[in-house]
Amino acid sequence: MIIDMHMHIGDFTFTPGEGRVPLTWENQLARLDEEGIDLAVMLPVYNASPEGAPPGVALLDERMSVRDQVLDAARYPGRIVPFGNLDPRWGSNSPNYDFSPVLEWFVAQGCKGVGEVTAHLPFDDDRVVNMFRQLGSYKLPVTIESAGTEAGSYGLQDEPGAPRLERLLRTAPQTTIIGHGPGFWAEISREVRPVDKWGYPKGKVAEGGALPRLLREYPNLYADISADSGFNALTRDPAFGLAFLHLFQDKLLFGTDTCFADAAGKRPQLGFLKGLRESGQITPEIYSKITGANASALLGIKSA
């Protein structure tokens, strides 16, 4: 079973006249059929506060509410697995806010996790820790967007070396965190400049990066390989990328983070993994773990 761990619905057009094709339920189901993907995990994106929203012109951003996306997902059982989504600042910015009413609603609607969390707050902010601990007590894994500390990015913030992510992993040990985004994937290398936390660093990976260490040391950390950030990290140094796929075959989750339903919006991840399997660089077992078995075990999805 192949599972796309990172799928959205909505219009991600930020520049007038871009001429891109927004994501709809219909064209996303057609994409899954075309690519041979059995299931997709829908991460609701919503018009968050300015610090939590992707950069761009909000007026062109015709996304639905989290509630609408979760309710609509129920029309596609067996194809779409919904996640809920929320912001650590909800509840008047209180670090003691009780999120259980909304988490119970998510669980009742069949949500298998939460994300992606895009709030531009430090990973170890009290409000983030409070929300993540509660996600753990509801056994809801959480997908995170990750960035550096400078303005003009979005997602949970950290410094090079990921000390704040590590603090969150340690203070919320019951919570499964699914890492994603430039700030997360830059840490595949030991050499990370602040600018790399919101970029796509190229070239050889320096051994001893925070990401391999955290994946090794924290059972509650997983990684989704979606988007340019995940793909860049796995391919910037092909030999390192291949060794990384072997080493963390139980922790990596295939995803696309497709943002547009046109030819330019196609993501290379699945074709890349298929190519590695066909050329014998990864075993069929590693391929099936990364493309679906790890996700179905994590989310408690039984294969059909």
Q: How far is the CB of 43 from Zn ion (least distance, A)?
A: 6
Q: Report CA dihedral (97, 42, 21, 252) to the nearest 10 degrees.
A: 110
Which residue is nearest to Zn ion, using beta carbons? 257
**Whole-number minimum distance, CB 95 to Zn ion, in Å?**
26
Strands laid side by side in the 221-224 sheet: 114-117, 142-144, 177-179, 221-224, 252-253
Helix (H) or strand (E) holding 114: strand 114-117
Of 54 and 163, which has the nearer Cβ to Zn ion? 54
Site for Zn ion in 82-101 (CB under 5 A): none
Which among 142, 33, 117, 38 has a CA at the least distance from the CA of 80? 38
Let me know: does 111 contact 147? Beta carbons within 8 Å: no
Which of the stretches 24-32, 52-60, 203-211, 251-259 binds Zn ion when contact is defined by CB under 5 A? Answer: 251-259
Pair 111, 72: CB distance under 8 Å: no
Residue with tokens 């997360």: 184
Site for Zn ion in 254-283 (CB under 5 A): 257
Task: Output 62 or 98, the one with its CB closest to Zn ion.
Answer: 62
Least distance (Å) between residue 257 CB and Zn ion: 4
Region binding Zn ion by CB under 5 A among candidate stretches 149-157, 193-201, 250-258, 263-271:
250-258
Neighbours of 163 (CB within 10 A): 14
- Residue type, position 69, single letter: Q
Segment near Zn ion (CB under 5 A); pick from 85-93, 151-159, 243-251, 253-261: 253-261
CB-based contact 222:147 (threshold 8 Å): no
Tokens of 66: 């989290």
Looking at the Cβ atoms of 24 and 94, the one nearer to Zn ion is 24
Tokens of 125: 């902010």
Q: Which of residues 44-73 bind Zn ion (CB under 5 A)?
A: none
- Minimum distance, C-beta of residue 32 to Zn ion, in the bound complex (Å): 16
Nearest approach, Cβ of 239 to Zn ion (angstroms)?
Answer: 28
* Minimum separation from the CB atom of position 98 to Zn ion (A): 27
Piece in contact with Zn ion (CB under 5 A), picked from 49-57, 240-248, 249-257, 293-301: 249-257
Provide the minimum distance between the beta carbon of 96 and Zn ion in the complex, in angstroms, as a whole number.
29
> Residue 12 or 287: which CB sits closer to Zn ion?
12
Report the alpha-carbon distance of residue 55 to residue 47 in Å, rounded. 11
Q: Which is nearer to Zn ion, 276 or 298 (CB)?
A: 298
Closer residue to Zn ion (CB): 118 or 249: 118
Find the shortest distance in angstroms from Cβ 8 to Zn ion.
Answer: 6
Q: What one-character-per-residue DSSP string does 82-97 give?
A: E-B---TTTTTT-TT-
In whole angstroms, what is the distance from residue 203 CA to residue 219 CA? Answer: 29
Looking at the Cβ atoms of 125 and 257, the one nearer to Zn ion is: 257
Size of the site for Zn ion (CB under 5 A): 1
Nearer to Zn ion, 136 or 230 (CB): 230
Within 5-34, the residues that bind Zn ion by CB under 5 A are: none
Residues 152, 180, 182: CA angle, nearest 5 degrees: 40
Burial class (CB in 10 A: 0-12, 13-18, 19+), 233: buried
**Binding site residues, Zn ion, CB under 5 A:** 257
